[in-house]
């Protein structure tokens, strides 16, 4: 029972594993130091005033690198993590997650890392690494990378989807949490290709294939898709998109509203006896 | 002031007869370059000296010339040249090249008007539908113009579903948008999908049809029509029932529509494939015979139409589901149930047929395919959990559309196919511009038209 005069609040705990799309929609979007969107709780305040989202956010090097419970990932040794710059993806955390450390109501993931993040592989030991913000690395670090590692590229789509299927199963089994996965809008403003003769898949085509695979996986496993592709298409990419990944503040708000809609549909805001 | 004059056509030994002019603007209006200001009906007349067949003889009943200034100007008409009434519909005098029909101020260049010639081949020759620009029901329409370009005509054939009709024929249904943008010489041809939808399966089979197969289809249709009419009894004629003796609302003989539709299906199946048909154009240099189209525009939407295969002859037809009921009566539905089998085509089937069509067309005429993809996103289809769709997952238009679009992308890698990415254009502007996935706003249609134009130029189709 609540104390007199105190408002009863339902706290929804969310583990959000992803990068800019996850952070800018659920937490905040800041451009040039100016706060442009203040995250999912803005939507909740308006639509579900008794509910607050408590979000634990973790960046995601790539979906297929998230270790499942009991797995020992093949990660770069500590000495490498110490000597190389990290960028937004600290090397010692690239193969780790706190996802399974505590119970949550929902886990939110995104296809973004699988769509865009190309990795390097250590030639001798085989571990993978995301050399984030490589353009800012010093010459010595670059030389190490060139001599010790080789380009491993993007993950095959089948590998990503297989790994995601196992991850969803593990989340549902270990955490009994709802799983939401963001897809991506494949549009890059201004890009217009009518013939792909001799060309490899563009990032836009790769996103379309991933989105289609994600829908198929959702049909089999029952997790929810936050359909960023549809949200952008409905309002218009000219209005909502800045580049392949970044949306305008209005775009992030619409994505956050869709997350709230899905969580509500899944019963995450229902009042429980213990609240 | 510059005199606005009719252009000359070199068509000897024939004469060109014309109706009175209908103005498409008010006198005193400011008009853009190549913006039509007048139209008239025309007809080629035999001078009696020629023993060669009349050119464009299948389109004589719906031949029109639209006139436009070559640059922006303010027009003033010679009003006496437009008497209205039936004089605007029926040819009453000879075309006089150089005749002054009005005046223009601030016109750059000579005052010879630019002609856009429109030709409609009627589905039913005796059915009059004149009244405005390219009015009436036609099985095939053409628009062509010499323009200011040089060299041979470039021809594009549009065989897609309704979203493509909007792109090619435009709001005015008479190719004005293309006349304004393509310098020429250009010919655009549009064949609508009311009779049969032009999917890759339908087109491929049509192109490969043998005389024996055409005969078998003719016999099958003839037999069914015989049954349909032979099975009529006195109750089949509502106009002559006792309760109609003093007047009735039931004016039409219902069987007639079924029979006519079957005949139209047959006429298309045993006529020349529009992809192989040559054409004649009237120009300032004379009447020129043109090769089959340089490019054929299709839509992936055609692949989604309902397909049926005639059990005995193998004849494949495709129709939009929405046509059953309001347009196609129960008699045809009964015929389809009895003599045809549904052909459930997958994305893989479309891929195979589109590839074969592109390859065969390339060999036969050298033409390339432009295929408009599907708009996969939909304002109404908001699915966050695909497991809730169950068995309907594979039929979800969002899923099917993305699968088909990716298939089309892959086809462009190996075959003479260019993709018009309507999906991306709709998403850029917002799918509110196309809420039902097919019928786009003017803004989106214009974006699609620009993209088609860009691709045609990139493929170096002459005149564009």
Of A192, A223, A233, the CB nearest to B421: A192
Q: How far is A193 from chain B (nearest CA, A)?
A: 8
Mutate to test the interface with A, among B384, B401, B455 (most CBs of A within 10 A): B384
A222: left (phi over 0), alpha (psi -120 to 50) or beta: left
In angstroms, the CA B178 to CA B383 distance is 39
In angstroms, the CA B382 to CA B379 distance is 7
In angstroms, the CA B403 to CA B199 distance is 17
Q: Is A205 within 8 Å of B409 when comparing Cβ atoms?
A: yes
Q: Is the pLDDT of residue A275 over 60?
A: no
Stretch (H or E) spanning A213 = helix A203-221
Q: Which residues of B touch A237 (CB under 8 A)?
A: 427-428, 430
Q: Is A225 within 8 Å of B386 when comparing Cβ atoms?
A: yes
The secondary structure of residue A3, as a DSSP letter, is P
Which CATH number does the domain A10-265 belong to among 3.40.50.1110, 1.20.1250.20, 3.40.50.1370, 3.50.50.60? 3.40.50.1110
Chains A, B: CB pairs < 8 Å: 115
Q: Is A224 within 8 Å of B384 when comparing Cβ atoms?
A: yes
Mutate to test the interface with A, among B409, B410, B419 (most CBs of A within 10 A): B409
Pairing of strands B340-342, B306-310: antiparallel
Angle (CA) A120 A123 A129, round 5°: 25
- Which 3 state secondary structure label does DSSP give B388? helix
- Which 3 state secondary structure label does DSSP give B141? strand
Q: Is A219 within 8 Å of B387 when comparing Cβ atoms?
A: yes
In angstroms, the CA A117 to CA A133 distance is 12
The distance of Cα A202 from the centroid of its chain, to the nearest Å, equals: 20
- At residue A221, φ and ψ (nearest 5 deg) are -105, -20
**Is A237 in CB contact (< 8 Å) with chain B?**
yes
In angstroms, the CA B186 to CA A112 distance is 46
- Which 3 state secondary structure label does DSSP give B284? coil
ipTM for this model = 0.79
**Is A183 in CB contact (< 8 Å) with chain B?**
no
The distance of Cα A32 from the centroid of its chain, to the nearest Å, equals: 22
Query: Span A53-69, mean pLDDT?
Result: 96
Of A216, A224, A233, the CB nearest to B431: A233
- Write the burial class of residue B231 (CB in 10 Å: 0-12 exposed, 13-18 middle, 19+ buried): exposed
Write out the residues of chain B at the interface with chain A, using a CB-CB cutoff of 8 A: 370, 376-379, 381-387, 389, 393, 396, 398-399, 402-403, 405-406, 409-410, 412-414, 417-421, 424, 426-433, 451, 454-455, 458
Q: Which residues of B touch A263 (CB under 8 A)?
A: none
In angstroms, the CA A17 to CA A182 distance is 11
C-alpha distance from residue B9 to each of A41, A275, B66, B98, B308 (Å): 73, 87, 14, 10, 47
Q: How far is A240 from chain B (nearest CA, A)?
A: 9
- At residue A77, φ and ψ (nearest 5 deg) are -65, 160
Q: How far is B418 from chain A (nearest CA, A)?
A: 5
* DSSP strands (E only) in chain A: 10-17, 29-31, 34-37, 51-58, 106-110, 119-122, 128-129, 149-153, 178-182, 224-226
Of A199, A211, A226, the CB nearest to B402: A211
Predicted confidence band of residue A2 (pLDDT cuts 50, 70, 90) = very low
Q: Evaluate whether A118 touches A152 at the Cβ level (below 8 Å).
A: yes
Q: Around B20, how many Cα atoms within 13 Å sit in the side-chain half-sphere?
A: 16
Q: Is B403 within 8 Å of A262 when comparing Cβ atoms?
A: no
C-alpha distance from residue B3 to each of B73, B96, B98, B112, B193 (Å): 12, 15, 10, 8, 43
Give the list of residues 6+ apart from residue A273 with CB closer than 8 angstroms, or none.
Answer: none
Predicted confidence band of residue A7 (pLDDT cuts 50, 70, 90) = low
Q: Of A181, A238, A228, A184, nearest to A206 (Cα)?
A: A184
Query: Span A104-116, mean pLDDT?
Result: 97
Predicted confidence band of residue A208 (pLDDT cuts 50, 70, 90) = very high
Q: Which residues of A touch B385 (CB under 8 A)?
A: 218, 222-225
CB atoms within 10 A of CB B337: 11
Give the list of residues 6+ apart from residue A228 with CB closer than 8 angstroms, or none.
Answer: A21, A182, A183, A184, A185, A255
Q: Which residues of A touch B420 (CB under 8 A)?
A: 194
Residues of chain B where predicted confidence (pLDDT) is lower than 70: 48-50
Question: Over pLDDT 70: what percentage of chain B?
Answer: 99
In angstroms, the CA B227 to CA B222 distance is 9
The distance of Cα B383 from the centroid of its chain, to the nearest Å, equals: 36
pLDDT at A1: 43
- Residues of chain A numbered 185-214 and touching chain B (CB < 8 Å): 185-187, 189, 191-199, 205, 208-209, 211-212
Q: Evaluate whether A108 touches A16 at the Cβ level (below 8 Å).
A: yes
Q: Of B426, B200, B159, B458, nearest to A195 (Cα)?
A: B458
Q: Of A29, A14, A104, A99, nearest to A60 (Cα)?
A: A99
pLDDT at B393: 73
């Amino acid at each position: 029972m609540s104390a007199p005069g105190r408002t009863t609040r339902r706290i929804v705990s969310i583990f959000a594993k992803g990068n800019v799309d996850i952070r800018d929609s659920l937490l905040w979007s800041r451009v040039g130091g100016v706060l442009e969107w203040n995250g999912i709780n803005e939507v909740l305040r308006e639509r579900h005033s008794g509910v607050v989202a408590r979000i634990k956010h973790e960046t995601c090097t790539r979906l297929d690198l998230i270790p499942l419970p009991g797995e020992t990932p093949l990660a770069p040794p500590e000495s490498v993590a110490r000597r190389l710059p990290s960028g937004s993806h600290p090397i010692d955390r690239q193969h780790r997650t706190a996802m399974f450390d505590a119970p949550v109501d929902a886990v939110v993931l995104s296809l973004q890392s699988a769509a865009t993040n190309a990795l390097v592989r250590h030639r001798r030991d085989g571990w993978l690494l995301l050399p984030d913000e490589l353009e800012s690395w010093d010459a010595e670090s670059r030389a190490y990378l060139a001599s010790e590692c080789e380009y491993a590229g993007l993950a095959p789509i089948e590998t990503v989807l297989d790994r995601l299927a196992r991850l969803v199963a593990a989340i549902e089994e270990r955490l009994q949490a709802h799983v939401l996965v963001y897809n991506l809008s494949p549009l890059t403003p201004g890009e217009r290709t009518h013939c792909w003769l001799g060309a490899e898949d563009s990032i836009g085509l790769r996103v379309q294939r991933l989105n289609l695979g994600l829908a198929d996986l959702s049909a089999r496993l029952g997790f929810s898709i936050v359909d960023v592709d549809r949200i952008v298409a409905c309002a218009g990419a000219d209005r909502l998109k800045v580049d392949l990944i970044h949306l305008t503040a209005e775009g992030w708000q619409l994505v956050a509203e869709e997350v709230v809609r899905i969580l509500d549909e899944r019963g995450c805001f229902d009042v429980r006896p213990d609240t | 002031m510059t005199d606005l004059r009719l252009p000359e056509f070199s068509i000897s030994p024939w004469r060109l007869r014309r109706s009175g002019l209908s103005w498409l603007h008010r006198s005193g209006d400011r008009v853009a370059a190549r913006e039509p200001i007048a139209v008239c009906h025309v007809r080629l007349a035999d001078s009696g000296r020629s023993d060669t067949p009349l050119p464009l003889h299948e389109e004589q009943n719906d031949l029109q010339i639209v006139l436009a200034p070559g640059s922006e100007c303010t027009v003033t008409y010679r009003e006496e040249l437009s008497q209205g009434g039936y004089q605007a519909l029926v040819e009453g005098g000879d075309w006089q090249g150089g005749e002054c029909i009005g005046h223009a101020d601030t016109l750059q260049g000579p005052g010879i008007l630019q002609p856009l010639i429109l030709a409609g081949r009627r589905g039913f020759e005796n059915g009059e539908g004149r009244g405005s620009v390219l009015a009436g029901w036609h099985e095939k329409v053409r628009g062509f113009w010499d323009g200011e370009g040089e060299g041979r005509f470039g021809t594009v054939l549009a065989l897609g579903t309704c979203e493509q009709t909007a792109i090619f024929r435009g709001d005015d249904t008479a190719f004005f948008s293309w006349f304004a943008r393509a310098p020429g010489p250009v010919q655009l041809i549009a064949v609508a999908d009311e009779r049969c939808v032009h999917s890759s399966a339908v087109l491929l089979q049509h192109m490969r049809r043998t005389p024996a197969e055409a005969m078998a289809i003719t016999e099958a249709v003839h037999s069914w029509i015989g049954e349909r009419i032979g099975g009529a009894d006195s109750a089949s004629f509502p106009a002559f029932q006792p309760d109609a003796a003093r007047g009735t609302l039931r004016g039409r003989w219902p069987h007639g529509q079924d029979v006519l539709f079957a005949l139209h299906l047959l006429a298309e199946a045993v006529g020349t494939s529009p992809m192989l048909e040559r054409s004649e154009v009237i120009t300032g240099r004379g009447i020129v015979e043109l090769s089959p189209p340089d490019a054929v525009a299709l839509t992936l939407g055609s692949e989604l139409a309902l397909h049926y295969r005639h059990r005995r002859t193998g004849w494949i037809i495709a129709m939009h589901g929405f046509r059953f009921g309001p347009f196609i009566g129960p008699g045809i539905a009964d015929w389809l149930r009895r003599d045809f089998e549904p052909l459930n085509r997958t994305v893989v089937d479309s891929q195979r047929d589109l590839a074969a069509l592109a390859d065969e067309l390339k060999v036969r005429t050298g033409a390339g395919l432009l295929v408009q993809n599907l708009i996969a996103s939909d304002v109404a289809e908001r699915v966050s959990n695909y497991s809730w769709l169950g068995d309907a997952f594979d039929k979800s238009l969002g899923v099917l559309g993305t699968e088909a679009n990716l298939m089309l992308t892959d086809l462009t890698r190996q075959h003479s196919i260019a993709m018009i990415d309507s999906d991306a254009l709709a998403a850029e502007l917002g799918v509110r511009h196309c809420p039902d996935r097919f019928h786009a706003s003017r803004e989106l249609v214009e974006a699609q038209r620009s993209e088609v134009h860009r691709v045609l130029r990139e493929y170096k189709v002459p005149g564009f």
